[in-house]
Amino acid sequence: MSSLAAPPENSRPADHPRIAPDGTGVLLVNLGTPDGTSYWPMRRYLKEFLSDRRVIEMNPILWKVILNGLVLTTRPSRSGKAYEAIWNREQNESPLLTVTRSQGEALSERLEGEVRVDWAMRYGAPSIEERLKALIEAGCRRILLFALYPQYSAATTATVHDKAFDALKKMRWQPAIRTVGSYHDDPAYIDALARSVETHLAGLDWEPEVVLASFHGLPKDYLLRGDPYHCQCAKTARLLRERLGWDERRLQLTFQSRFGRQEWLKPYTDETLKRLAESGVRRVALVMPGFVADCVETLEEIGIAGRELFLEAGGERFARIPCLNDSPDGMDAIERVVRRELSGWIG
């Protein structure tokens, strides 16, 4: 027996603390979700999200005044309408919550008997701290923290790690931790994206003239400070283009979801849609490679608002290609990354 192994139950003192079995766990983490679409649930969610210093990198005193004086007064109602348009009414939750739960369950089935799988949200519930504690109480002394962002950014991946490390700082006996940095160029991920595009387009009775690969935006200043996100998005788009055998005109890189007045990564998705329609392009499709699960940004911002913008500018056909979600190809990519990162912990 290893000198580090727990002593047999019958050899411990009667008052010895409980020692859980020695196991391995995986915690999948996505961005987060409000627990309702009305003003106060939206305000709580947005306050947590927009108070993150990783997300908003400006003078904290000035931002606190702007956030509490303007943003949290007006934005909850506007964002609530967007969530209301795509809300999963059957389960009374956001689609992101529905899909992330399903991804966790699907991965658990694939890794049954090898690791314990759980899932959490960076903002909102279930929290990272809560689910880390659940894994540890279940006996996981080794945990892989998987922030579900294919492309790394300090505003996404790093803030998940920050929150997990904050929880770990409170623990006397910490588990061994590994993190997934990014998988923007993993062959399984690129193949899954390509098959998703091919399958969806094959089901249309028309062919798009242009396909936009639309990624979530980021302030340009973050790129200039050294954030690798833009470069990783560009590489994903290039690899997807090569895998599909398309040129740069057929598959174009754009960025969506900008907020505030500062310059963000360009070209902007909404402006590109309008420009394409006004230039005579009548048929477009959009794929969102940076989102592993459909959410308000893909379902409402692209699927509803983006469609309306393109059609009103003169376009005729518009297709939104679903995210990989819990599809077999999408789960193949997630499983491949997990098994790679668990090398040495499981067989």
Q: What is the pLDDT of residues 109-160, one digit of tens each?
A: 999 989 999 999 999 999 999 999 999 999 999 999 999 999 999 999 999 9
In a domain, 2, yes or no: no
Residues of the chain predicted below pLDDT 50: 1-5
In a domain, 129, yes or no: no
Structural domain that includes position 247: 187-320
* Cβ atoms 182, 337 nearer than 8 A: no
Instruction: Please name the residue ranges forming H helices in the chain.
Output: 39-50, 60-66, 72-86, 95-110, 128-137, 159-168, 187-202, 220-224, 229-244, 269-278, 296, 307-312, 328-341
In a domain, 81, yes or no: no
* Cβ atoms 136, 5 nearer than 8 A: no
With tokens 């000035």, the residue in question is 62
In a domain, 167, yes or no: no
Question: Tell me, what's the pLDDT at 259?
Answer: 86
In a domain, 168, yes or no: no
Please state whether the predicted TM-score (pTM) of the whole model is above 0.85: yes
Question: Looking at residue 218, which CATH number applies to its domain?
Answer: 3.40.50.1400
Rounded CA separation 340/1 (Å): 28
pLDDT single digits (tens) 265-276: 999 999 999 999
Domain tally for the chain?
1
In a domain, 44, yes or no: no
* Cβ atoms 267, 237 nearer than 8 A: no
In a domain, 306, yes or no: yes
In a domain, 53, yes or no: no
Q: At residue 161, what are phi and psi to the nearest 5 degrees?
A: -65, -40
Question: Tell me, what's the pLDDT at 326?
Answer: 98
Rounded CA separation 268/258 (Å): 8
